[in-house]
Structure 1
Amino acid sequence: MTMPMPMPAQRLTPPRTVRSVVARMSALGAALPPEDGVAVFNRVYLRVTEEVGRRLGTGGFQDPAATEELDVRFACRYLAAVDAGAAGRRPPACWRPLFELRGHPGVRPVQFAMAGINAHIGHDLALALVDTCRARNTEPAALEDDFDQVGAMLTEMEQRIREELMPGPDPLEAADPLTHLIGSWSLDKARDAAWASFRALWGLRALPELVEEFTERIDKTVGLVGRCLLTPLPATG
């Protein structure tokens, strides 16, 4: 079941700062019904981006300029997928399950959130890391420490997201299929895989045909995982 994107199809200037990313996500959230699957993920991502912005302002990263550039390039891949959906174009395969099932009544909010995180971390992150290294003419090691700091922040926030979006006082008893499904996916493992994919893509950068093939396979594999995460479940009593 698919809900139409209640956003005008238009070509928007990509954001260049974390502040402008926050503004785009805030506008998107205001235009979407709260129960929409994309809206659920967008709220989660907005909170993460606001926290990154706060830490950038308080000296929380070794290289704030590089971290902000990575964060913006990363966010732009999600926003480009949203814009593609709004314009009737096909987004990357990793995002299609969320966009196609965003209005399904059998999919719970935590599933929408995890499917969006899966698409963004599993596919977009490696590509954003490559883009940032290219733009800054630097090597992967220059980004690793701040990448790990952001990862620790994401792990902490993911736990809060699971607690907030899982229904009932005891998810282990109230929604066992949901608990099993969500528990089968790991943010830490997805981040590790994204870093490994980034290193592989960086090593292959002089071989564009292999880069294209490898990127396409990542996209399709992450999309398959996302479709599993969005398995409709029966309503709980």
Structure 2
Amino acid sequence: MRPGPNAEERLSALMEGWAEAGDRRGAFTQCYLVMTKRVHDAVDDGAFNDGAWVTRLLERFADYYFEAVDAHGAPEPQHPCPEVWRSAFDACADPSCHVLQVLMLGINAHINHDLALALVDVLDDWDTLDETARSARHEDHERVNEIIEATTDEVQREVVDRWSPAARTLDVLLWRLDEWTFGALAESWRSRVWTDAMDLLALPPGSRREASAHLGTRASTVATVILLGRHPGHRAEGYPSGVAHAPMPEPAPDGMRISLPE
């Protein structure tokens, strides 16, 4: 059963409106729409232990994206747009940023900043679950990773071809995708995010806000790495193609392990 209000419909409307305007914010939105559809299809097919929980997670996860979109476009937003999202949106208007960077900036912001927060929101019953139920939730999270990895080719074909037809041979610029692919990065980041969510859940509720701020710090560090590769062909010694060194974020508070995603 599709969630309501229908996140797919709003993603589609945003994507088409931005495509018509030539606004590259639509590139990540299309990527997100494709992957969301595939996870929804898997829910409909009974691929998860708890499809209702996965649907709830998808809804809450999408809320964080829509909140960032609304805040970025509002003169006086109710809540400020997270800095990592502001950077991602601003890069869409920068002609020196390739569409691959635009995609990766959005993926980084949504996974490394938003996902752990969404998980904490929908794992509000964690303390009441036995080990079997907890394992089932983790298995469902990992199943989403598998779906994202399987969707990589479709994303590359449909999204990159639409927004940058000249990049069909994707390894000629920025990152060679056999070294650092959308799927591999998303899977690695999502796996790490589960640990982040567990760390947040282990803290007293009153301490989570401060600790979760480090998610934004880390995601912004990753965004800096992505942006430093904006010139095609640039390669920093010891890093994948187009990736240069960026400063590490400040240490996280006690009880919260946050490190730079690989």
TM over 0.5: yes
> How would you bin the TM-score normalised by the shorter chain?
0.7 to 0.9
- Rate the CA distance shift 1:169–1:25 in 2: closer, same or farther, 3 A: closer
Give the aligned partner of residue 50 of structure 2.
63
User: Which residue does 1:121 correspond to in 2?
Assistant: 111
| Distance in 2 of aligned mates of 1:203 and 1:136 | 10
Correspondences of 1:1-237 after superposition (within 5 Å): 17=3, 20-33=6-19, 35-88=22-75, 89=77, 90-134=80-124, 139=129, 140-162=134-156, 165=160, 167-168=166-167, 170-172=169-171, 174-175=172-173, 177-179=174-176, 183=180, 186-204=185-203, 206-209=204-207, 211-231=208-228, 233-234=230-231
The answer for unaligned runs of 5 or more in structure 1 is 1-15
- RCO higher in structure (CA 8 A, sep ≥6): 1
The 3-state SS of whatever aligns with 2:84 is coil
% of aligned pairs identical? 27
Partner SS, residue 83 of structure 2: coil
- The CA distance in 1 between the partners of 2:180 and 2:112, in whole Å, is 17
Give the deviation of 1:98 after TM superposition. 0.8
- Mean alpha-carbon deviation: is it higher for 157-166 or for 123-132? 157-166
What secondary structure does 1:218 align onto? helix
Q: How many pairs were matched up?
A: 216
Q: Structure 2: how far apart are the matches of 1:220 and 1:37?
A: 24
Taking structure 1 as reference, are residues 218 and 51 closer, same or farther at Cα in structure 2, changes over 3 Å only? same
Uncovered stretches (5+) of structure 2, i.e. residues with no partner: 234-262
After superposition, give the CA deviation of every residue in 1:123-170 in whole Å (9 maximum; x if it has no partner): 111111110011687545441111111011112223543466385464
TM-score normalised according to structure 1 size: 0.80
SS of aligned partner of 1:103: coil
Q: 1:224 to 1:91 in 2, by over 3 A?
A: same
Residue aligned with 1:33, SS: helix
Are the equivalent residues in 1 in contact too, given 2:142–2:191 (CA < 8 A)?
Answer: no
Q: Tell me what 2:240 maps to.
A: none
Give TM-score, length-normalised by structure 2: 0.73
